[in-house]
């Protein structure tokens, strides 16, 4: 349910930028010969020509609509060019669109606080830029106005017959008798026109924009004149706009709440809400939603533009409709593996490009039960701490699925005999990585991070984590989660590791850095360590690694030394073991791991990235370690560092 936010007496300038039929534009940029031709993007060409997910404006003229099948589109527009969404691992791959969206964001974010609202939409807070322009180069002082700005639509501006629209717009933009807020909007119009021109020049995409005092109105405005146009909403036109705006057109009211307003209160237009007191609306829809409704009826919306250029989660999913439903565990496993592979790749990219790590893995599934009466029950979603590494994510996802399936099937533990089908079917699967946070990189932020992590490392939290990990991700049914095991986990031996780098020879460090990455396995309790557990594109640091998957500490030490690192430990290897449950046969190394060294931002590449740990506490400690390493090396401007870490909290 929508929630009202305290509203600053809106002197803000907020823009909503909406890319025009974005996927089509991305494909047309890839294949410029398609420019100007009727084009649509389809996915899954196999059935009836695939489903349209984006339709270019040339094709819309022929009546081609989103969610037509490809064949239908050919029917109404035989000359249409249908471009398929890229496919990877048997599913749609939207990465090229995500990347194109990032290009646009990086252009727009130069001008003010920028929020990436979706793959093709952005909110901008241009208040500061507009205030600055108003103070320095107010539109009324300009004799020449950008032509793109002159093509703007000004909501509520009288359009007299025979009058030149651009002259009208110019007059509005340059009015000297306008109030402060309208003058700010006029500045916003000029700024957005310029930004749109930059997007077109630098990324070759057209977009439409809405400019107003809040997100809600800007969002409405950006959709009013498409493609490649912009619309401004002055205060004076708000009432008229909302008066005749169908309630369902308002963001957040397109669903059940909007329907309820229509059926319960007879509200068909946003303006109809004005009849109801705030109290009345609160009685119907609760405090928050009631106030929110009261506000939007008046064009008031306090939502801030969040300064966020990157997504808060990554997901990979696929549906298996009707006859394609998955009915066996191996088929589920196959598709989960594909989804997890894609997710893992995107997580790795996020780590490399943005220094962010995700901490939670969630699995969603849609299922039906063919025979049982309670076949309407929903498949429960399940989550667990996220461990980096493709095979780990795959394992964890599969375990989450099986936990969900057991719960879904409930007491009906139908033993599936041989090839007999089991009575359930999976029609949708998705894996999501969330709780993404930056790896800290400044001294103060590191201290903050440290304090934050310290709590996470409390013994009770450790035990809780471990407990949850073992319950939600238990690896086999007959391994008990006994109290004894739990206690053992709490008595994890203390570990300290020190890495020294005595080299002051920049030349050799550069050489090291040029190797792109260095993996230092600390310890492995597993005999079959697959390379796939690690980052895939990095070279093996040790020759013969495959044949020595579990190097002894002494070997490790000598190898590391050869990389001008030394590895020290206060304890023999046997005591460094972090005990887990007695699953020696599965690929679950307790504490093993490796550091990647990459840091394009420093002249000497010196970032050490720790990842892929068995529980968040250890991972957190190592992330802290990473931060310290970076700071020390950056601050000292040299390569000699000494770092120590305490892996197990007090």
Of 468, 496, 550, 563, the one binding DNA by CB under 7 A: 468
557 Cα distance to chain centroid: 39
Burial class (CB in 10 A: 0-12, 13-18, 19+), 154: buried
Using CB under 7 A as the binding rule, the residues of this chain from 279 to 298 that contact DNA are: 286, 288-289
Query: Taking the CA of residue 537 as centre, how many other CA atoms within 13 Å lie in the half-sphere pointing to its CB?
Result: 8
Distance CA 306, CA 235 (A): 23
Output 43 or 127, the one with its CB closest to DNA: 43
Q: How far is the CB of 285 from DNA (least distance, A)?
A: 9
Considering only the stretches 131-139, 310-318, 409-417, 571-579, report the one whose residues sit in contact with DNA under the rule CB under 7 A: 310-318
Q: N- to C-terminal Cα distance for the chain?
A: 43
In the chain, count H helices and then E strands.
Answer: 21, 20
Q: Is 599 in the site for DNA (CB under 7 A)?
A: no
Q: Name the one range near DNA by CB under 7 A: 148-156, 226-234, 255-263, 553-561.
A: 255-263
Q: Which residues contact 492 (CB under 8 A, 6 or more apart)?
A: 462, 578, 579, 648
Question: What is the sign of the dihedral through the CA atoms of 347, 316, 335 and 584?
Answer: positive
Q: List the x/- string, 13-52, binding to DNA by CB under 7 A.
A: ------------------------------xx--x---x-
Q: Which two tokens stand for residue 159?
A: 């359009």
Tell me which of 156, 311, 423, 587 binds DNA, using CB under 7 A. Answer: 311
Q: Could you tell me how many residues of this chain bind DNA (CB under 7 A)? A: 62
Stretch that binds DNA, among 162-170, 266-274, 313-321, 514-522 (CB under 7 A): 313-321
- Those residues with Cβ within 8 angstroms of residue 8's Cβ, 6 or more apart along the chain or in another chain: 302
- Smaller CB separation from DNA, 248 or 638: 248
Nearest approach in angstroms of CB 95 to DNA is 8
Q: What is the dihedral of CA 578, 582, 585, 591, to 10 degrees?
A: -10
Order across the sheet with 51-55: list the strands.
Answer: 51-55, 39-43, 81-84
Binding mask 472-491 for DNA (x = CB under 7 A): x-------------------
**Residue 47 Cβ, how far from DNA at the closest point, in Å?**
5
Task: Select which of 27, 115, 121, 342 is catalytic.
Answer: 121
Restricting to residues 412-441, name those near DNA by CB under 7 A.
427-428, 430, 432, 435
* Residues 6 or more apart whose Cβ sits within 8 Å of residue 625: 608, 610, 643, 645
Q: Is position 121 annotated as part of the catalytic site? A: yes
The answer to whether 366 contacts DNA (rule: CB under 7 A) is yes
| Binding segment toward DNA, per CB under 7 A, in 25-33, 153-161, 245-253, 626-634 | 245-253
Q: What share of the chain is helix, strand, coil (3-state, %, to 5)?
A: 40, 20, 40
**CB burial of residue 207 (10 Å; 0-12, 13-18, 19+):** buried
d(CA 648, CA 628): 17
User: Can residue 619 be called a binding residue for DNA (CB under 7 A)?
Assistant: no
Contact with DNA (CB under 7 A) among 25, 152, 231, 383: 383
Nearest-approach distance from CB 203 to DNA, in angstroms: 18
Active site residues: 121
Residues that bind DNA (CB under 7 A): 1-3, 43-44, 47, 51, 53, 66-67, 91-94, 98, 118-121, 219, 250-258, 286, 288-289, 306, 311-319, 321-322, 324, 342, 360, 362, 366, 368, 378, 380-383, 427-428, 430, 432, 435, 468, 472
């Amino acid at each position: 349910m929508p929630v009202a936010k305290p509203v600053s007496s809106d002197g803000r300038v907020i823009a909503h930028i909406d890319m025009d039929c974005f996927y089509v534009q991305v494909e047309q940029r890839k294949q410029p010969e398609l420019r100007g031709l009727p084009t649509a993007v389809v996915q899954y060409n196999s059935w009836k020509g695939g489903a349209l997910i984006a339709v270019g404006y040339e094709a819309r003229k022929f009546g081609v609509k989103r969610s037509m099948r490809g064949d239908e589109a050919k029917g109404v527009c035989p000359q249409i060019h249908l471009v398929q969404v890229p496919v990877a691992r048997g599913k749609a791959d939207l990465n090229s669109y995500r990347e194109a969206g990032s290009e646009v964001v990086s252009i727009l974010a130069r001008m003010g606080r920028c929020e990436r609202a979706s793959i093709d939409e952005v909110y901008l807070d241009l208040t500061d830029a507009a205030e600055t322009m108003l103070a320095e180069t107010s539109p009324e002082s300009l004799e020449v106005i950008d032509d793109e700005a002159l093509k703007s639509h000004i909501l509520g501006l009288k359009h007299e017959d025979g009058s030149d629209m651009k002259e009208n717009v110019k007059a509005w933009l340059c009015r000297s008798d306008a109030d402060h807020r309208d003058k700010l909007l006029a500045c916003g119009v000029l700024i957005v026109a310029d930004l749109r021109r930059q997007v077109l020049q630098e990324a070759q995409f057209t977009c439409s924009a809405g400019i107003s005092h809040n997100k809600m109105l800007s969002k409405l405005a950006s959709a009013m004149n498409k493609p490649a146009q912009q619309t401004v909403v002055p205060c004076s036109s708000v009432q008229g706009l909302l008066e005749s705006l169908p309630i369902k057109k308002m963001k957040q009211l397109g669903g059940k709440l909007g329907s309820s307003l229509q059926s319960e209160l007879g509200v068909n237009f946003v303006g109809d809400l004005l009849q109801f007191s705030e109290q009345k609306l609160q009685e119907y829809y609760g405090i928050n939603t009631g106030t929110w409704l009261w506000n939007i009826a008046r064009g008031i919306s306090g939502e801030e533009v969040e300064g966020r250029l990157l997504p808060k989660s990554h997901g990979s999913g696929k549906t298996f409709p009707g006859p394609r439903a998955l009915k066996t565990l191996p088929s589920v496993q196959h598709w989960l593996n594909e989804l997890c592979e894609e997710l893992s790749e995107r997580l790795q990219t996020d780590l490399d490009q943005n220094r962010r790590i995700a901490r939670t893995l969630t699995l969603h599934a849609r299922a039906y039960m063919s025979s049982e009466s309670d076949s309407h029950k929903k498949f429960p979603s399940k989550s667990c701490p996220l461990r980096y590494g493709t095979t780990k994510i795959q394992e964890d996802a599969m375990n989450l699925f099986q936990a969900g399936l057991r719960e879904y099937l409930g007491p009906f533990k139908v033993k599936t005999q041989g090839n007999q089908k089991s009575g359930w079917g999976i029609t949708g699967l998705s894996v999501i990585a969330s709780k993404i946070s930056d790896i800290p990189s400044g001294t103060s932020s590191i201290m903050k991070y440290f304090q934050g992590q310290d709590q996470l490392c409390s013994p009770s939290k450790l035990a809780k984590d471990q407990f949850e990990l073992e319950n939600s991700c238990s690896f086999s049914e007959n391994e008990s989660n006994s109290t004894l095991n739990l206690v053992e986990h709490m008595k994890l031996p203390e570990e300290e590791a020190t890495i020294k780098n005595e080299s002051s020879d920049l030349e050799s460090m550069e050489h090291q850095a040029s190797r792109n990455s260095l993996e230092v396995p600390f310890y492995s309790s597993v005999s079959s360590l697959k390379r796939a557990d690690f980052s895939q594109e990095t070279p093996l640091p040790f020759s013969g690694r495959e044949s020595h998957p579990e190097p002894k500490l002494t070997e490790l030490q000598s190898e590391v030394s050869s990389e001008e690192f030394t590895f020290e430990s206060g304890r023999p290897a046997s005591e460094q073991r972090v005990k887990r449950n007695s699953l020696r046969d599965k690929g679950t190394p307790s504490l093993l791991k490796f550091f990647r060294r990459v840091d394009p931002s420093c002249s000497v590449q010196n970032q050490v990235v720790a990842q892929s740990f068995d529980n968040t506490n250890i991972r957190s400690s190592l992330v802290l370690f990473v931060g310290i390493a970076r700071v020390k090396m950056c601050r000292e401007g040299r390569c000699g560092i000494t770092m120590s870490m305490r892996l197990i909290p007090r």
